[in-house]
Structure 1
């Protein structure tokens, strides 16, 4: 999700503009689930895979110039998994989401300043063969609001297209599902790292408008919450 501390003049330049649009999922009922204890288990297709998400380390080297390639899935851009597999904040776990990712304003406490990330931003742009001509953003694959690593190059990529973009909406709804107790934090993290374009299905969710429901139990739902951490 976009990081206000990483964007020069609100955007990074990149060749190609992708079409907007948010993933559409099957309808579900609107009964509201509350609390921070996850009601659903991890998606069978991703169970255990969260162990593959590394703990964030800001000293991880940025990939070399031209070594990363943007991909496409379901008509949307995705990062090179060899360069940007995702990484998580080791200080965030399921037990403390009420005082971290689900607490209003929390992402502001972990977002690195531009002064710290300028050189990394430039190196990542070179790694992804950034070209002038169109807008994009320097993006956390696992967003800060889902406990993504703030300044690990493995969790950062250059996402082409307009700002805000369809990935932002996916991340917001995953956060709603985590903070309402529909799914565990690790399920959301693994799903967004695997592919943000299929994250709802991978996390066992169905979305209809602003309502997020469990696919296995469509009566367990949460309506979207807009807060000051959306778009992080």
Structure 2
């Protein structure tokens, strides 16, 4: 650089020789290392995306087979508002790929019924129910317990996915031997009506019932 470089103070000369060194607002920017400020996109990816995605089952089958259940004693009921609820680890729910928001009119909302033609036969579900009772450690009368689709068929639940079926005990105070009796069924019907009338989406109804069927209606603002 000759005499010009010798005239420049050593500190300034060193800065001029470094790539990317400049004056103004950039002089204090961190450009590398652990101190890098996260970009706007990076901060968004750290935000929770909400509830876990519900598994997708196989959908209606022309021939059903007995599905393997969780190991005996591995599932545990939980209780909300005095009502027995499923174990999310064993029974997270499963939806049918045959039912979507786009085809409601030709599936669960069609006149003439949808569910009766896709139910697994009793010869299949009886064996599954017995095995699932052992999974949950259920010791009551099987005649008083419903082998329940967590996401009901009328809400697009999978017909025979083990993740969507559980032995649901009768409501507290139910007289033994009195048959199946629970408060979940009316909730499912109200959700079905809300979905078919367009008040709530199919996905919202499915998510609400797997979260907690006892609060599903209030969660979605359904009377």
1:22 maps to what in 2?
none
- Deviations along 1:34-54, one digit per CA (max 9) or x if unpaired, are xxxxxxxxxxxxx853x6111
2:92 maps to what in 1?
85
Q: C-alpha separation between the residues in 2 aligned to 1:54 and 1:91? A: 14
2:137 counterpart SS class:
coil
Structure 2 stretches lacking a partner, 5+ long: 1-48, 59-64, 175-179
Deviation (angstroms), 1:115: 2.1
Structure 1 stretches lacking a partner, 5+ long: 1-46, 208-232
The question of 1:70 aligning with 2:71 is answered no
Q: Which runs of 4+ in 1 moved over 6 A?
A: none
Q: Looking at secondary structure, tell me which structure has more strand per residue.
A: 1
Of 103, 124, 128 in structure 1, the residue corresponding to residue 132 of structure 2 is 124
Q: Looking at secondary structure, tell me which structure has more helix per residue.
A: 2
The question of 1:107 aligning with 2:134 is answered no
TM-score of the superposition, structure 2-length normalised? 0.66
Q: C-alpha separation between the residues in 1 aligned to 2:156 and 2:218? A: 20
Q: Is the 8 A contact 1:59 1:152 kept in 2?
A: no
Q: How many residues align?
A: 160
1:96 maps to what in 2?
103
Q: Residues 183 and 144 (structure 1 numbering): CA distance in 2 closer, same or farther, change over 3 Å? A: same
Larger radius of gyration: 2
The question of 1:52 aligning with 2:53 is answered yes
Q: Is the 8 A contact 2:66 2:125 kept in 1?
A: no
TM-score of the superposition, structure 1-length normalised? 0.64
Q: C-alpha separation between the residues in 1 aligned to 2:141 and 2:124? A: 26
2:169 maps to what in 1?
160
- Deviations along 1:56-89, one digit per CA (max 9) or x if unpaired, are 1478641100111111011111001110111101
Q: Is the 8 A contact 2:68 2:128 kept in 1?
A: no
Q: C-alpha separation between the residues in 2 aligned to 1:183 and 1:48? A: 17
- Deviations along 1:104-142, one digit per CA (max 9) or x if unpaired, are 311012111112333222211110112145721110100
CA RMSD of aligned residues (A): 2.1
